[in-house]
Structure 1
Amino acid sequence: MRARQISSKQLVELYLARIERINPQLNAFTNIFDEQARTAAVHADHLLATETPESIALRMPLLGVPIALKDEMEVSGLTAQHGTCAYSENACADATHWRRLREAGAILLGKTTLPELAICGFTESQTWGATRNPWNTAYTPGGSSGGSGAAVAAGLIGAASASDGAGSIRIPAACNALFGLKPQRDRISLAPHRSQWLGLSVNGCLTRRVRDTALWMDIAHGPEPEYTCSPPPPAGTYSEAATRDPGKLRICWSLSTPRAVVPPLRYPLIEAALERVVRAFGRLGHRTSQRDPDWGMIGYDCMNVYLKAIESEYDQVPHPERLEPRTRGFKRLARLIPAPLLRRSQARESGHAERINAIFKHCDVLLTPVTAIPAVKVGHWANQGALRTVAGMSRAYPHTIAWNYLGQPAASIPAGHTAEGLPVAVQLVVPPNREELLISLAAQLEDELDWPARWPPLANLES
């Protein structure tokens, strides 16, 4: 747009046409703001025509760019619906995350689907129905940011917000062949909330390319006064990190998982994808070795905090009588965990962090799977209660929640496809506050594997 190759109005119309044609097969959006987006595009085009590209890049780097928001983020005058019909009041102010994007010139095109209260690793709800994977619509796009993942993967939007309380950025990224970074805890402000999911949840986005996430991070990160402490700022910009050679790194890989109530699933193609990335790292000059983190008993503490985090979200719902039976079942499970046990699980975070992060004495980056299996079919957990659902998800998604509990950065990297065309992925984990290292290495791997070159058949870019 700065080069006058396309106008904001043209881009908005292009996306709206694609949404009209493709979204009925995906159900990725809860709301489309077509007229508001058109009006904003006209204003953006006026600024693009009257200001210099250099001035725009400095002050409003997203001027005229349409984005989508996961339908849990507050936008003034709109209801953040959280995947349910149990909310009804409009927000009186913008969330800090959206305000920063808006001030950078972004145009809100729509809101995307999520499961009720963002609980599940699949995107199905009684209120909004099932969201489907553009690589194969019989399968889930993951969750809880599944609508954002499906929309970005199908080319219905260039980038969409996401949040991650137990894998909800990384799982949809893995299911949709996207880059999905879970930032350091509090890197992107949660305001107007001081905390979400008892400290497990963070804000972020889903994009096809690492450099797009880096730009989003540059715009959105930073403290919000009076809300929470912020981690140390990066030495430079994340966009600079996306263009920087990471140097020769020590990379440990592991297939192990924290101990849980039920054993994780194993899928040979997931392990083959990890081996393929290990070989790619070797070609890039990095030194790789196998080493497992010392997980200890972190799995049990993660589960205690996860269930009580659901209860904390449940207790804020204005109309709990409208919630799904399974959601009420999660509330009942959480009641079985007494408050002193939750406090002990939370207090053990520093001990777990010291023990598990000792692996970074031997490596700079840890490589693991994201999910134990590829995307499951839509309805895989339909009509199952909370206990069976959480047990099933803990087997399918055992690699993600520990890093929410510890609060440090982790990202999903596309790493191939199954015979059914379903994406598979690997996870990169770095020490606390090292997003710039993760972004630099992920960008190098993107150049090596070139995952953005492959689109899902449903995207149909020629029409």
Structure 2
Amino acid sequence: MDRHGARGGERDRDDAELIFQGVERQAELVRTGKITSRALVEAALRRITRLDPALGAFRVVFAEQALAEADARDEGKADGPLHGVPIAVKDELDVAGQVTGFGGAADHTPVTADSEAVRRLRAAGAVIIGKTTMPEFGQWPYTESEAHGHTRNPWDTTRTPGGSSGGSASAVAAGLVGAALGGDGGGSIRIPAACCGLFGLKPQRGRVSTAPNPHLWYALGTVGPLTRTVRDAALLYDVLAGTTATDRWSARPTTDGWVRALETPPGRLRIGYSAKPAVPGVRPHPEHVEALLETVRALRELGHDVREVNPRYPDATAPFAAQFCGGVRAEADAVERPDRLERRTRGTLALARLVPESAVERGSGPGSG
């Protein structure tokens, strides 16, 4: 290999090592002056340029804007927990000056302001590097669309990263960014986290603001990060937690914060587990059951009281279906070019328009958590 090739390979390894360290470590490196935000963003952009054509994790990358933001971070005081760190966001979240595409091609006018979640990331010092792919309106547990094609799992590009936050999961798992925001209604953070070997938690509704929208698919949808570690997720939830006057739901604030809770020994816990499916007619794969039992064994070895339970799951099919239909209908009704909606979305809408608003509202439950 010539010297240029050797240097290129060494730089690729350095870039990967830097991004895979995660957002807490990246922020520490910027804060202590061991690296600049520009260098960190440049490393992420090089990896996106090299790897994303095969993955399709990003709908759009803000290269020039992100570098300008990084320069501004380097010139300012490093006082935020995410200072100078590049983070991606799912295409259902507003980023000022960009189109919020919801995974499709039915909108074309850029929004004028950040969503509350994106605003909080910036206030914590983050650099927004791009928007990630999703199926149109987040309807499916895989990430593909007529507008943006298929998103691939970086562990095996013949497989899906899951959905609907598959672009965010693929970007984090491939080390294109240290963390990315997603959204979860029926598993849209948790499914991609499982498919890509990441940490993903669906937070309590009202924990993270959906503003400027009063809700995300009524009571179903929440916003949250996908990360490589629990600690990075805790850090991001400390940044994101809180709602505004426009949010339909508001959860009680945590007493000490997420990172503090993570650092506090829990004592001996009583933990119930079950491999019983929550959905009638669905059976868990034996590999999933074995993974559950491995977790049970690990928790017992740590001294916790872990017992098998037999929960009486309610049938959630009717309220879930009503809110799914109501959510897709509300988002589709707001687009600028309904004629550009995907054929399968139009099929969903044909069914959704048969669901009365009263059924959607009944499934939403009480107004606060």
TM-score by length of 2: 0.87
1:193 Cα deviation from its structure 2 partner: 0.8
Separation of aligned partners in 2, 1:165 and 1:72? 13
Partner of 1:37: 66
Separation of aligned partners in 1, 2:202 and 2:327? 18
Partner of 1:331: 349
Separation of aligned partners in 2, 1:80 and 1:19? 21
Name the CA shift for 1:4/1:103 in 2 (closer, same or farther; >3 Å). Answer: same
Partner of 2:315: 297
Separation of aligned partners in 2, 1:42 and 1:4? 14
1:297-348 CA-to-partner distances (Å, cap 9, x unmatched) read: 33332223222322222222221111111111111222343444444444xx
1:250-303 CA-to-partner distances (Å, cap 9, x unmatched) read: 11111223345xx21431111111111111111111111111322133333222
Separation of aligned partners in 2, 1:31 and 1:339? 35
Which moved further from structure 2: 145-154 or 324-333?
A: 324-333
1:145-169 CA-to-partner distances (Å, cap 9, x unmatched) read: 0000000001000010111111111
Give yes or no for the alignment of 1:208 onto 2:228: yes
Secondary structure of the 1:198 match is coil
1:46 Cα deviation from its structure 2 partner: 2.2
Task: Give the conservation status (yes or no) of the 8 Å contact 1:173–1:179.
Answer: yes
1:13 Cα deviation from its structure 2 partner: 1.2
Q: Which segments of 5 or more consecutive residues in structure 1 lack a partner in the other structure?
A: 351-405, 408-431, 433-463
Give yes or no for the alignment of 1:247 onto 2:275: no
Separation of aligned partners in 1, 2:39 and 2:361? 53
What one-letter code is carried by the residue in structure 2 that aligns with 1:127? A
What one-letter code is carried by the residue in structure 2 that aligns with 1:14? A
RMSD: 1.8
2:109 to 85, 89, 113: 89
Partner of 2:12: none
Give yes or no for the alignment of 1:62 onto 2:82: yes
Separation of aligned partners in 1, 2:310 and 2:43? 47
Task: Give the conservation status (yes or no) of the 8 Å contact 2:277–2:283.
Answer: no
What one-letter code is carried by the residue in structure 2 that aligns with 1:98? V
After superposition, where does 1:131-210 map in structure 2 within 5 Å?
Answer: 131-210=151-230
Secondary structure of the 1:183 match is coil
Separation of aligned partners in 1, 2:54 and 2:96? 30
Name the CA shift for 1:251/1:196 in 2 (closer, same or farther; >3 Å). Answer: same
Secondary structure of the 1:86 match is coil
1:379-418 CA-to-partner distances (Å, cap 9, x unmatched) read: xxxxxxxxxxxxxxxxxxxxxxxxxxx99xxxxxxxxxxx
Partner of 1:411: none
2:42 to 4, 13, 38: 13
Give yes or no for the alignment of 1:269 onto 2:269: no
Secondary structure of the 2:111 match is coil
Separation of aligned partners in 1, 2:362 and 2:122? 40
Secondary structure of the 2:218 match is helix
After superposition, where does 1:109-124 map in structure 2 within 5 Å?
Answer: 109-124=129-144
1:238 Cα deviation from its structure 2 partner: 0.8
Partner of 1:73: 93
1:111-137 CA-to-partner distances (Å, cap 9, x unmatched) read: 110001111110000000000001110
TM-score by length of 1: 0.70
Partner of 2:239: 219
What one-letter code is carried by the residue in structure 2 that aligns with 1:244? T
Partner of 1:417: none
Secondary structure of the 1:199 match is coil
Separation of aligned partners in 1, 2:87 and 2:360? 38
2:124 to 104, 109, 112: 104
After superposition, where does 1:428-443 map in structure 2 within 5 Å?
Answer: none
Name the CA shift for 1:214/1:326 in 2 (closer, same or farther; >3 Å). Answer: same
Separation of aligned partners in 1, 2:113 and 2:96? 4
1:73-108 CA-to-partner distances (Å, cap 9, x unmatched) read: 111111111100001111121111101111111101
Separation of aligned partners in 2, 1:32 and 1:117? 20
Separation of aligned partners in 2, 1:170 and 1:2? 31
What one-letter code is carried by the residue in structure 1 that aligns with 2:196? N
Separation of aligned partners in 2, 1:119 and 1:194? 19
Separation of aligned partners in 1, 2:86 and 2:204? 26
Name the CA shift for 1:133/1:166 in 2 (closer, same or farther; >3 Å). Answer: same
Q: Which segments of 5 or more consecutive residues in structure 2 lack a partner in the other structure?
A: 1-29
Separation of aligned partners in 2, 1:343 and 1:76? 31
Name the CA shift for 1:259/1:30 in 2 (closer, same or farther; >3 Å). Answer: closer
Which moved further from structure 2: 32-41 or 139-148?
A: 32-41
